[in-house]
Amino acid sequence: MIENKQYVHGTAARKLEYDVYKENKVLKTKKKRRNNNKVKVKYVLVLLFISSLAGFVTYRYAKITELNYTINQQIAEYNEIREENKNIELDIKNSIDLNNIREVAKTKLAMQEPDGHQITYISLPRDNSTMVLEDENQNEENSGMLDILMGKIKSVSSFIH
């Protein structure tokens, strides 16, 4: 079907050759206001969108700053605890020192070295030595042949001495 540009589609009415909005001043101003209102609404929506994006970015930066602050606090606490642990380890090492223990025993506890007749030697039963060898056998299962052989030679030599 050929479309005729003189008729309104689907009717027998002819198209108007003049625009009502151009000739009538009242309708013309209403159309301009309507178009201006649409533009204003678009500007307001764009401004709301941009301001919400800026607010979101600001919120994220505030959260990042807050997290950095808590991380720095935790790092400072960690360093303090680490220093305290080092001091405690140093105190423990000093207290384990045999010379230090001997000094404390002599000065604070008034102890003295035992005389020759006060020393008693105890012989250990053979069962305890086999327990040690059993532990070594468990370790030998995970090592190579050369390590097993060297371990057995060391255990026999330590058992003889």
Per-residue pLDDT of the chain (161 residues; tens, 9 = 90+): 455 566 667 776 766 666 666 667 777 777 777 778 888 889 999 999 999 999 999 999 999 999 999 999 999 999 999 999 999 999 888 778 788 888 888 898 988 888 888 888 887 766 655 555 555 555 545 567 778 888 888 888 887 76
Q: What is the pLDDT of residue 55?
A: 97
* CA-wise closest residue to 131 among 155, 154, 153: 155
User: What pLDDT is stored for residue 66 in this prediction?
Assistant: 96
pTM recorded for the entire structure: 0.39
| Amino acid 145: pLDDT | 76
State whether residue 75 is helix, strand or coil.
helix
54 vs 46: CA distance, rounded Å: 12
Scanning 25-113, the segments in alpha helix (DSSP H) are: 25-96, 98-107
CA-CA distance, 84 to 86, in Å (whole number)? 5
